[in-house]
Structure 1
Amino acid sequence: MAAVARWGRGIRWYVRELTGESAYERYVGHLRRHDPDAPVSTRREFERRRTDAQEGDPGAGFRCC
């Protein structure tokens, strides 16, 4: 049973990395390590900036059209 749970966690991790869902947690962790007193953007603000950056760089391959 432990192997099945480990396999499930691995799949969940992979999907979160693939879809970018874990990017906000990485952002918060990085900010807290490097500047603990800095204000942290909300998830909504973070996603808006991330989307704007992706759409502003058409050569990055984030969109097909």
Structure 2
Amino acid sequence: MLKHLKNFWKAVRRLSGDDAYDRYLEQYAHSHTHDDGDACAGPLSRAEFFKQWQNQKWNGIKRCC
């Protein structure tokens, strides 16, 4: 039963976008691992990530006509 509740909660968080930053960090860690020693600036902070996410969502024309 607990497994089903955890899976349900995980689905709710994904649908609502609540886990967006967690998924960003996972993707960042996966795609920014370099063996050649390239220094990256590091991932965005939670506040920077959500500010960028909101700007992408709401900036620009969002209508059909």
Matched, 1:53 2:53: no
- TM-score of the superposed pair, with normalisation by structure 1: 0.73
* Structure 1 or 2: more helix by fraction: 1
Matched, 1:43 2:46: yes
Matched, 1:17 2:14: yes
Question: What count of residue pairs does the alignment treat as equivalent?
Answer: 56
Q: More relative contact order in 1 or in 2 (CA 8 Å, sep 6+)?
A: 2
Counterpart residue number, 1:5: 2
Q: Could you list the runs of 5+ residues in structure 2 that have no partner in the other structure? A: 34-38
- In the alignment, the residues of structure 1 paired with residue 32 and residue 15 of structure 2 have an alpha-carbon distance, to the nearest angstrom, of 27
- In the alignment, the residues of structure 1 paired with residue 31 and residue 23 of structure 2 have an alpha-carbon distance, to the nearest angstrom, of 12
Aligned-pair Cα RMSD in Å: 1.5
Matched, 1:27 2:24: yes
Larger CA Rg, structure 1 vs 2: 2
- In the alignment, the residues of structure 1 paired with residue 29 and residue 4 of structure 2 have an alpha-carbon distance, to the nearest angstrom, of 30
| Identity of matched residues, % | 20
